[in-house]
Structure formats: structure tokens, C-alpha cells
Amino acid sequence: MHRIVIVGGGAGGLELATQLGRKLGRSGRAKVTLVDARMTHLWKPLLHEVASGALDAAESELNYLAQASWNHFQFQLGRMTGLDQKSRKIELAPLYDEEGNVIAPRRSISYDTLVISVGSGTNDFGTPGAADHCLFLDDPDAAIAFQKRLLSEYMGAQARGKSETLEVAIVGAGATGVELAAELRDAARQFSAYGLDKISPENLKITLIEAGPRVLPALPERVSLPVAERLVHEGVRVMCGSAVTLVDEEGLQLANGIKVAARLKVWAAGIRAPVFLASLGNLKTNRINQLEVSETLQTTQDPNIFAFGDCAACPNGHSGTNVPPRAQAAHQQAHFLAQAITRRIEGRPLPSFTYRDYGSLVSLSREGAVGTLMGNLMGSFKVEGWLARMFYISLYRMHQRSLFGTRRVVARMLADALGRSTEPRLKLH
């Protein structure tokens, strides 16, 4: 039986495991194994909502073991640390319990086809102090840690009984930074509504810092400029053309000499793939540790190993650029690989992946969203407000549909709608 091992249960990896399990695992044509260092999956574009308290991670997480059972693949808890290309095995680090005791030794898993989809993390570009004093919204644990610190600041001020100011600095005005700033502004109003008013909405000082000339550099200026104006109108301090040179306990030092005071600091600028990828066998990586792959998504040095999503440098046709690290790209690549790996097992030639850009959307909290949509007939056009928010929410529902099917997603939507009437709009614990 052909052994397919998928390392990384992010949006793309989990969708691929689910599709291959339904297609090949159910019929016994292949053994599909998903490996991840966590027990649960949370759609990464939701992390800014978890950080602000607008979303409870526990209510939105998906359990890998249950998903595997429902969709005819296996799940292995573990973190990949090594690769033996000759014997076709991956090495997993030991597992430890909460007290630090070893519950499973170092292990190896054999494969015939290996797919690496370990995503990416934030790139602090080696900025002094960033790793020590900033939070990086790379996983649910970091987002939950920020939410708890934010809530602690409000609860502490309330207990002390006097009006206080809280400074928050966000480095990077891409989608994550902009979305987090908007969510925090909404959270400030919600905290006040629930009686935590010693830090008033006006006294939550949010600074959004961007080294480039404008916010949302991946989107057209006709989209990014109104977003910047809206953030400023909402009380967010937007500083473009401002590179951070040092981070310390009190705040951030900028290249132009300005010091930004901040008790809470989030770094959301740039990405890089996990460092361990650069030391895997003879596989080639680029300067941000992404595995170099061909248009079939096979690594350039080993046809038995595929890579996709943020951890892969995939050529984008003949443009001379790579496929952008977006959720929609990982979704498209997962669907492509489900077909391509089936063809590989059948001994048929592999097709080439073609990325289709359907536009980009940025959430501006419950107030709406903004972005561009790409259509075959109308080209690129701007959407904003309630309509854009509906398109933004639909992206998550599409991800859920690929994992659960249409009927279960409809049931989840109904449950979510009913739950909103009995739950606070902000996580307060």
C-alpha cells in the first residue's frame, strides 16, 4: 500500500489529508498519515480575533484525531526534526507531558510520498530585542497569550480603581497588523460596555508601524489609502516609512529617532519558513527557508517529496515571481495535490499547478471589511463594508466546507448564530 505522509496540519495540510483520506484511504489504495505538533487545528487567519478576544479559540478548534477518524486517514502527534531521503523516513522529536516527562521517544515514519506543509512564522529580521519583548501571532498559543495579557491590563486597572492608559504597538501593516489594530479598537469599546472602563476606549493607544510607504502594501493604493484613513479616524496612530531598529521593555526605537512607548508589543511584519527546513537532506531552500519546488510542487532535488503553502517557493507561471503566501494559494494547492498524488500512484504524469488570484480581503472587525475581488469578466474591483465582510466570512466557510461537507457547515452556521445570543461579544476570561 502506498504510504503518503503529510507534515503540517495547517489549512492546506489538513484539507489535503482530508481529501486524500476520502479518495484513497477509504478504498485502501493508500495509507494517509498527517503529522502535526499540536492536537488541534485553528484557521490561521482567525488568530487576530483570538488575540483581541473576539473569538474563543477553544470553540473554533478542530481535533485532528476526530477529523482523521471521520475521513479515513491517520494522525500522528509530533514535530518533524529530520529526514532520511535514502530510506524514505522522517524523524520526529520525542513527546513530553506537561511535567517534562518523555511519553514517547524519538520516532521515525516511513513514506513513499512525502508532503511538507509546515507553514511559516513571523520574520523579525534579526531586530535586537524583538524576540524577547514582542509577541508573534504565529499560533493559537501566542494569540491566547496576548488576549490574556490584554485582559489582565484591563482587570488590573479596574481593581486599582483609577483611569489609566494602555499603549499597544503593532509592527507590520500588512493584513495581520491592520486586522489586529481594527479588532483592538472594537475590543476597547466592548471592554467599556462590560464595565471595564478604567482604560477608556480613548486611552487604549494603538500604534501601527510599517517600514514601507503605506499600509497593506500587497493591495492597490485605492484600497490601502482609505483603510489608513479609517484607522486614523478610529484613533489608531499609523506610522509608515518607519523601520524598527530596537525593541526593549519600554517600547520600540525607530530608525528616524522616534521612540514609541508600548507595554504590549506585537510583531506582524514579514514571514519565514521554519529553520529546520534548511537542514533537510539535499533539499534546496531560499533565503527565508522556503523549500524550492517545481510547477508540479515537487521539490527540485527529490521527486518523492512535495511542498506547498507558505513553506514552499513555488514559481507563479512565467511571471518570475513566486505564488504569494496566502490562504487561498494553500487551498488551491491542496486541491491540486489531491489530484496529482492520485495520478502519481496510478503511474500517470503530473500536471502543473496554476495559481488563480481571486483577490484579497482584509477584515476591519465587525464593522466590515475591504479588499479586491478578481473576476474573469470584470477584472479587479474594490469591495468594502458589509458586502466585503460577507465575502471575508465566506472564505472561512469554504475552508470548513472542504473539511466537513456542506450539511455539517450549515449546521455549524446555525449553531454559531444561536450561540451569539447567549454569549458575550468578547472573551472575558
Residues 16, 144 within the same domain:
no
- Do the domain assignments include residue 354? no
| 179 and 262 inside one domain | yes
Residue 134 and residue 261 in one domain: yes
- Given 267, 295, 312, which residue is the final one in a domain? 267
pLDDT at site 377: 44
Q: Does the residue 350 lie in any domain?
A: no
The tally of domains found in the chain comes to: 3
The verdict on residue 368 lying in a domain is: yes
pTM of the model: 0.92
Give the residue from 245, 267, 289 where a domain finishes. 267
* Residues of the domain holding 93: 2-120+273-345
Lowest average pLDDT, out of 21-35, 113-127, 313-327, 382-396, goes to: 382-396
Last residue of a domain, one of 247, 267, 287: 267
Domain identity same for 32 and 135: no
245 φ, ψ to 5°?
-110, -20
Q: Flag whether 205 is in a domain.
A: yes
What is the per-residue pLDDT for 411? 82
pLDDT digits (tens, 9 = 90+) for 162-205: 999 999 999 999 999 999 999 999 999 999 999 999 999 999 99
Instruction: Indicate whether 295 belongs to any domain.
Output: yes
Q: Is residue 104 part of a domain?
A: yes
> Looking at the structure, do residues 309 and 414 belong to the same domain, yes or no?
no
In a domain, 377, yes or no: yes
- 46 and 110 fall within a common domain: yes
Asked whether residue 46 falls in the same domain as residue 103, the answer is: yes
Residue 378 confidence (pLDDT): 46
Q: Where are the beta strands (DSSP E) in 202-350?
A: 204-210, 237-240, 244-247, 251-254, 259-261, 264-267, 271-272, 291-292, 298-299, 302-307, 312-313
What's the pLDDT tens digit per position in 82-136?
Answer: 999 999 999 999 999 888 899 889 999 999 999 999 999 999 999 999 999 999 9
Domain annotation covers residue 426: no
Instruction: Judge whether residue 422 has pLDDT over 70.
Output: no
Give the rounded percent of residues in the chain with a pLDDT score beyond 90. 74
b/e code 38-54 from CB counts within 10 Å (16+ = b): eebbbbbbbbbbbbbbb
Closest CA to 191 of 154, 145, 147: 154
Question: Read out DSSP for 78-102?
Answer: --EEEEETTTTEEEEPPEE-TTS-E
CATH code of the domain containing 143? 3.50.50.60
